[in-house]
Structure 1
């Protein structure tokens, strides 16, 4: 078994972990902070999210012998970042994330629930994802107007990486972000960074469960996790010739999501972008051996988890606009893809348009977020219009 490890698999696994973490850690922090998490709670959530995807990325590929890489729910974190704080604060958000994890487990156990999710028209699901991402994708432009000297170097680095290699865009943006912090931001609180490196301050949260948080947060979080991550992740593996048993993988990621949600962490799910890196020829000539790339990425994630306190502390020293700008840049490719998918059927444009606009508006009705109403209204219009044709 060990003899199957190749240098290319190790390289692609390490590269995938670096790209995956650097491209989206700011989104996770922004989502947790927007839900009312303190710096210590955000660091705790980031730690367990990173540890969760690391453990899954070691466990699932080792069992299935396919590069079944796992990531945290980036669109889910973006949804949290664009949603108003619940009345119960972060405790209520943690309860919603636990409920979301239970829904993921049930999807892996109950085939009919999976069929219900699959019955949502793909353009509606894509429009929901685009609406969720829209507000955060505006952040780079808004930050450029507010703090141009800090944001412009990050955007230039991102653009340079995009032109050179799409996968290099966010790592270069993060490196530019680090340089900007050192040169342009008051780091007088930097002594806490060294302390955090050696003694992470874990801050568990006692979850609160309400019907409002279930409908406003748990259901949309579940839908964007399934539509934005799990389904594309399975598609990547299948396109690369791997036979995938979806329900066990969904069930297992749901169990891990449930464990880490108790610590205020976003769910984990199948990876799409980094899975594409590890399922292709760059990860080894023999497709049967490429699962080692996913295992390598898992080991790297476990190690990166112990940097959570440092990352959260450094992010806390930066202007909020700068952090959200970095998060927004990371989401632009996903926004473009989901928008294109939302309006892919010329005969059905109104329904996804309504879903997108309602989800992006940030409105609330009866205490329920626009993400839920967007899916509901869009689905009704879709099926009513389809019935009249």
Structure 2
């Protein structure tokens, strides 16, 4: 296993952890507070989620030798932000987290579900991937428009290095981002004092309370959006990159780690979508068999960030979110171009792929479920209608 280790995968793993944590931790905190968590309980939940997804990603990647990136349920957190505090307060929400975790495990053990996920047509999976990451690929240019002084150096360094040695373009952009934050962002007064006070890991055990209202309003919707918006796209992205994952066992393992994070305030962990594309793409390593190290390094990064959740949250919050997103967007340009070409290559499936891509890229959310799921459903229905209509005649 050590013979597969590489510096390139290490750089990508560090970027995965940084982007995965920094790009959406604010959503997680907001979601936990939305169901009744105090500031300290929310920080504890963030820590538990980060450590759980780090351990889960490491175990799955070592076990399968696949670049399995794991994340917290960002759509689930967004849903909780508007769900309201359940009867029984945050302990009732924690009880719902336990129920959601159990449902994820059951979904993984239910074999027909795994077979259905594995049967997603490749053109539709590629179209969904392109739709998922296209908005993030816009971020480098939005960052320049936001503040050219901060965004332009990251874009220019990436472009120059890519022209000579594509392998080092993303690491160079990441280092430039760090330099921009250190030298270009003005820290508010008292920021360092506040940061040093938050170095201790926030740990808060919450005894769960199980209520019917929390089950209906939190557990079931959280399970649905986690499976539809994260786990299913996560498997599809691995398949796009020519891996053959076994969905059921992977889902069950993420459910177990969701169960472990629940008593400390964590809502759910799942297979990643965007960072999965980073770990499974060519920028992680030219050899697909060695890319799993990027996911392992990313998992280690998540654990370290989780232990320092309070301090990291305070520090990363000083940077404009668009700068964090811009580095991720540059890392995903290659993945976008490859998936777009593969999605629209075959004439027979081009219209269905276009439908999947457009619905996914639109960013719509119906019944709390993201466009990635609905895009796949629409594409599959389109393929079914095309087969029923038979071959087209001129």
User: Is TM (by shorter chain) over 0.5?
Assistant: yes
**Aligned-pair distance for 1:117?**
1.2
Query: Matches of 1:93 and 1:152 in 2, distance apart?
Result: 43
Aligned positions, number: 362
Match of 1:153 in 2: 153
Match of 1:187 in 2: 187
1:311 counterpart = 2:312: yes
1:71 counterpart = 2:73: no
2:229 to 208, 212, 220: 220
Match of 2:324 in 1: 323
Query: Matches of 1:163 and 1:96 in 2, distance apart?
Result: 50
Match of 1:241 in 2: none
Query: Matches of 1:93 and 1:224 in 2, distance apart?
Result: 26
Q: Deviations over 1:317-358 (max 9, x none)?
A: 112322332333333333333323322321121112112212
Match of 2:211 in 1: none
Query: Matches of 2:13 and 2:195 in 1, distance apart?
Result: 23
Query: Matches of 2:158 and 2:329 in 1, distance apart?
Result: 11
Query: Matches of 1:97 and 1:152 in 2, distance apart?
Result: 42
Unaligned runs of 5+ in 2: 34-38, 209-213
2:266 to 257, 263, 266: 263
Q: Contact conserved, 2:235 with 2:271, CA < 8 A, in 1?
A: no
Q: How does 1:261-300 map to 2 (within 5 A)?
A: 263-264=266-267, 266-268=269-271, 274=279
Q: How does 1:118-267 map to 2 (within 5 A)?
A: 118-163=118-163, 165-188=165-188, 189-196=191-198, 198-201=199-202, 209=218, 215-216=224-225, 218-229=227-238, 231=239, 235-236=242-243, 247-260=248-261, 263-264=266-267, 266-267=269-270
Match of 2:12 in 1: 19
**Aligned-pair distance for 1:29?**
3.1
**Aligned-pair distance for 1:225?**
1.8
Pick closer, same or farther for the CA change 1:136–1:274 going to 2, 3 Å.
closer
Query: Matches of 1:121 and 1:281 in 2, distance apart?
Result: 21
Match of 2:378 in 1: 377
Residue 234 of structure 2: SS of its match in structure 1?
A: helix
**Aligned-pair distance for 1:293?**
9.9
Match of 1:334 in 2: 335
Match of 1:87 in 2: 82
- RMSD over equivalenced CA pairs, Å: 4.5
Pick closer, same or farther for the CA change 1:272–1:137 going to 2, 3 Å.
closer
Query: Matches of 2:360 and 2:293 in 1, distance apart?
Result: 39
Residue 263 of structure 1: SS of its match in structure 2?
A: coil
TM-score (normalizing by structure 1): 0.72
Query: Matches of 2:113 and 2:16 in 1, distance apart?
Result: 32
Residue 141 of structure 1: SS of its match in structure 2?
A: helix
Q: Contact conserved, 1:140 with 1:329, CA < 8 A, in 2?
A: yes
Q: Contact conserved, 1:93 with 1:213, CA < 8 A, in 2?
A: no
Deviates more, 1:371-380 or 1:303-312: 303-312
Pick closer, same or farther for the CA change 1:364–1:117 going to 2, 3 Å.
same
Q: Deviations over 1:11-67 (max 9, x none)?
A: 53x7634421324522443234346357978865664454335434654577x5x64
Query: Matches of 2:95 and 2:133 in 1, distance apart?
Result: 23
Query: Matches of 1:253 and 1:211 in 2, distance apart?
Result: 17
**Aligned-pair distance for 1:247?**
4.7
Q: Contact conserved, 1:94 with 1:265, CA < 8 A, in 2?
A: no
Query: Matches of 1:23 and 1:300 in 2, distance apart?
Result: 8
Q: How does 1:42-121 map to 2 (within 5 A)?
A: 47-56=47-56, 59=59, 64=63, 67-68=65-66, 70-73=68-71, 87-88=82-83, 105-121=105-121
**Aligned-pair distance for 1:152?**
0.8
Deviates more, 1:151-160 or 1:211-220: 211-220
Query: Matches of 2:246 and 2:65 in 1, distance apart?
Result: 13
